[in-house]
Chain A
Amino acid sequence: MAEQVYYENVNVGDEIPKLVKNCSTQQLVMWAAGAGDFYQIHYDKDFALALGTLPGIIVHGALKHAFLGQMLHDWIGEKGQIKTYGCQYRGMDVPGQEITCRGVITNKLQEGGQNLVELDIWTEIPSGDKTTPGKATVILPSR
């Protein structure tokens, strides 16, 4: 785990550490079981192609949401807390292609005794398209 990050040490415009993923079909099967989502478009290529609208097997949206959660969890350290986080599923991701989770700080404020940090978060594919844009608010400790 990375060193603890503190409210005083982050600034608007800072980018947080990236998290790079590249899903194997095996990982999608693990997610299907872990999340209880057995829709065949995520592991059965024939089924996915037969729909006529998909490029083949696609990555679960909720898995990309969970990746963004991992990025935040790993960044805020054990004294930080995720207050809100969410994303929209705008673009499809496919297995075997890099999915880079990124975040940029958009605001800092102290409210109700909490040090809040707001971020834009997203997943990005090699073309630069943001397939899963979202927002988060985390609570960071003070030094």
Chain B
Amino acid sequence: MTESSLADELRTVMGKESEPLIIEVDKTAIRMFARAVGHTDLVFYDEEYAKSKGHRSIICPPGFVGHAIHTPQKPSGIIGSSVTQMPEIKAQFRGVLNGGTEFEYYGEDICAGDILKGVSKVADLRERAGALGQMLFVVTETNYTNQNGKLVATQRGTAIMY
């Protein structure tokens, strides 16, 4: 691979928005996620308790929105397209590492029963030589809006391809 050629090639995908992904926020999924983390706050488990705290239903724990959702319609089985799933790009690297995750929330409850729409785009691409040889850092940004059209969360994920 010649220096920077790949990043240049990939710049054409920068900023291009994905098809919207529909995420049905569901009680069972929230409870499974909260249990896996070890959350003890009942706002993630018990609807009556959550309502007594002013929420519409049980609420999503931090990091819940954005977890993988399976669909047989995509070759990877995961909703959410990104550069790291493009076969022609994948073929040029040995592996992918999860480099980091960032969330921004906008003060709006995200509750069971909500239907979110997620739209992703490649926000940044950088090539860098590192411990694993030439590496490509891909930052994917996803904005989630709820059924009322309100922006409720932004997720930025960094994939490191090497």
Contacts and interface: CB of A to CB of B under 8 A. Distances in A.
Contacts of B67: 34-37, 62
A36 B69 contact: yes
Nearest to A32: B36
Interface residues of B, number: 32
Interface in B81-136: 97-105, 107
Contacts of A72: 62
Contact of B37 (A63, A84, A89, A139): A63
B32 interface: yes
A82 B68 contact: no
Contact of B39 (A27, A37, A73, A82): A73
A11 B38 CA distance: 28
B36 A35 contact: yes
A21 B37 CA distance: 9
Most buried by B among A66, A69, A134: A66
A67 B105 CA distance: 17
A70 B70 contact: no
A104 B67 CA distance: 27
Contacts of B69: 36
A33 interface: yes
The secondary structure that dominates the B interface is mixed
Contacts of A85: 62, 102-103
A65 B38 contact: no
A78 interface: yes
Nearest to A137: B104
A73 B62 contact: yes
Contacts of B78: 36
B100 A88 contact: yes
Contacts of A87: 100-102
B37 A70 contact: yes
A34 B35 contact: yes
**Shortest Cβ-Cβ A-B pairs, 8 listed:** A69-B62, A86-B102, A36-B68, A34-B36, A88-B100, A30-B36, A31-B36, A34-B33
16 contacts: A35-B36, A36-B69, A62-B63, A62-B98, A63-B37, A65-B101, A66-B36, A67-B37, A69-B63, A73-B39, A74-B40, A78-B53, A82-B103, A86-B101, A89-B99, A134-B102
Given A62-B101, A66-B33, 4 more contacts: A37-B67, A81-B107, A82-B62, A82-B103
